[in-house]
Structure 1
Amino acid sequence: MAIQSIFNPTQSAGMLKIENQVKTVPTPYEAQQTFGSFLKDAIQEVNNKQYESDVMTEKLVRGGDIELHDVMIASQKASIALNATMEVRNKVIEAYQEIIRMPV
Structure 2
Amino acid sequence: MKPAVSVNETTKSFGSFLKQSISELNKSQVASDVATEKLVKGEQIDLHQVMIASQKASITLQTAIEVRNKAVEAYQEMMRMQV
TM-score normalised by structure 2 residue count: 0.96
Give the aligned partner of residue 38 of structure 1: 17
Unpaired stretches in structure 1, ≥5 consecutive residues: 1-11, 15-24
Give the aligned partner of residue 70 of structure 1: 49
**When you count helix as a share of all residues, which structure comes out higher?**
2
- Confirm whether residue 13 of structure 1 aligns to residue 2 of structure 2: yes
Unpaired stretches in structure 2, ≥5 consecutive residues: none
Report deviation, 1:13. 3.0
Give the aligned partner of residue 91 of structure 1: 70
Cα displacement string for residues 24-62 of structure 1 (whole angstroms, at most 9, x for unaligned residues): x22100110010000100011011000000000000000
Higher relative contact order (Cα pairs below 8 Å, separated by 6+ residues)? 2
Distance 1:13 1:90 in 2: 32
Q: Percent of pairs identical after alignment? A: 57
**When you count strand as a share of all residues, which structure comes out higher?**
1
CA RMSD of aligned residues (A): 1.1
Report deviation, 1:85. 0.3
